[in-house]
Structure 1
Amino acid sequence: MAPAATSGGSSLPSGLAVFTTFPDLLFIPEFDAAYHCTAALFYLSASVLEALATIQMHDGFTYKQYHENISAVVFSYVATLLYVVHAVYSLIRWKSS
């Protein structure tokens, strides 16, 4: 088994070698690419539902509430985009290890 990567190394440790150095220990959650893909899917579905609710706003809502919903939709899509990017990089990292 190869030793854990040093600070200048280009290879990532695998298996129990992850536990040999502190910085490598912090990357353990990154190995779970399925979690990131599932979370991105949930964020996307919540964003779509929020956009649908905003489009269907009718009487009883003020102009301010409508604009608050629009900003919530925009930020939910930004969060979804960031989660998708993180999921892609997690998949790339998982595939390369």
Structure 2
Amino acid sequence: MATNTGQMGYLPRGGAIFCTIPDILYLPELVFGGLVLSLVASTLIDPTFANPQAYVISVAIFCFIITFLWLLVFACGCHENRSSWASADVAYHGFAALLYLSASVLLAFVTIIFSQESLKDTLTYKLDIAAVVFSFFTTLLYVIHTVFSAIRWKSF
């Protein structure tokens, strides 16, 4: 019987990762994580204010690199079909969702603070707003991936 999360007790390998629900989310996570990274990197950083944008960039870089490596592990079939890989998948995506949530909240806070000051021009403010929106969307993608990976992990 086919399910949305692939076959029960099965971790996909090769091209099959683009056919199962939790694994198909690797590409949107990479695309929107890259957008967050580029948008935050292109905004104005005020050196007189304790600005957490360096943390946001660090989270985006970390999650981008590890998600890409995780995608390669599954695509190349370097994993064994064991529950330890499924539990590691749940643990990583849960941790990434938590990191992105904290980074999104800090980025939204900084955007609100800077919107009340006259230091920002409208282009920089629009870049900050776009970064906040894409950051929360990337957080949502990681949360969805965590939920469906947990469902797959429970089937082992």
Q: Structures share a fold, TM > 0.5?
A: yes
The question of 1:77 aligning with 2:74 is answered no
The question of 1:12 aligning with 2:13 is answered no
The question of 1:36 aligning with 2:113 is answered no
Closer, same or farther in 2 for the Cα pair 1:22/1:77, shift >3 Å? closer
Cα distance in structure 2, aligned partners of 1:64 and 1:11? 49
Note the C-alpha offset of 1:22. Answer: 5.5
Q: CA RMSD in A?
A: 2.8
Matched residue SS, 1:82: helix
Closer, same or farther in 2 for the Cα pair 1:55/1:30, shift >3 Å? farther
**Percent of paired sites with the same residue:** 44
Cα distance in structure 2, aligned partners of 1:50 and 1:41? 14
Matched residue SS, 2:118: coil
Aligned length: 83
Corresponding residue for residue 61 of structure 1: 120
Q: Is the contact between residue 9 and residue 152 of structure 2 (CA under 8 Å) also seen in structure 1?
A: no
Q: Is the contact between residue 30 and residue 90 of structure 1 (CA under 8 Å) also seen in structure 2?
A: no
TM-score of the aligned structures, taking structure 2 as reference length: 0.46
Radius of gyration: which is bigger?
1
